[in-house]
Amino acid sequence: MRQRYYSQLAPPAVTGVRSLIDSASILWRWRLSVTDWDVAAATVGATPVFAGEAPPAPVASVIGALDPALLTRPQTPFVALHAAVALAAADRADDLRRLAKHLSTRRGDRLACRRGAGV
């Protein structure tokens, strides 16, 4: 995962909406399968499986290279989903709430924000 990110998906090699979709998605998977795994394992006294992987995944560089509108005012449900993934990977709960509010105020769209989704 790390090799693929740094060889193909790290900024500035990938920009714009592709960065949001591909780069942020792999960093979310990195976080779940590498960074958070060892944090959870440590709570039960297990040794790290991914020693040497620096937590957290470098999501800030991807978010910093994006047009902020992709995160705050996505134009399609697909982009909105990936904006939420990127914000979750970066632990930006306040921005996730703002995104949810933006999506819930869009009338006539098929974008839906459900309170039960935990956003």
Domain boundaries, the chain: 2-117
Closest CA to 71 of 113, 31, 28, 103: 103
Q: Residue 110 has what pLDDT?
A: 47
Inter-residue contact 75 to 49 (CB < 8 Å): no
What span, in angstroms and rounded, lies between the C-alpha atoms of 115 and 86?
Answer: 19
Q: Residue 98 has what pLDDT?
A: 93
Q: Is 108 exposed, middle or buried (0-12, 13-18, 19+ CB in 10 A)?
A: exposed
Q: Sorting pLDDT into bands at 50, 70 and 90, what band is 4? A: confident
Inter-residue contact 62 to 19 (CB < 8 Å): yes
What pLDDT, in 10s, does the model give residues 14-67? 888 999 999 999 988 888 777 667 677 778 887 766 666 555 678 888 999 999
Inter-residue contact 62 to 32 (CB < 8 Å): no
| pLDDT over 80 (residue 108) | no
Q: Please count the other Cβ atoms lying within 10 Å of the Cβ belonging to residue 102.
A: 17
| pLDDT over 50 (residue 119) | no
Q: Sorting pLDDT into bands at 50, 70 and 90, what band is 113? A: very low
Q: List phi, psi (to 5°) of 8.
A: -130, -25
pTM to 2 decimal places: 0.74
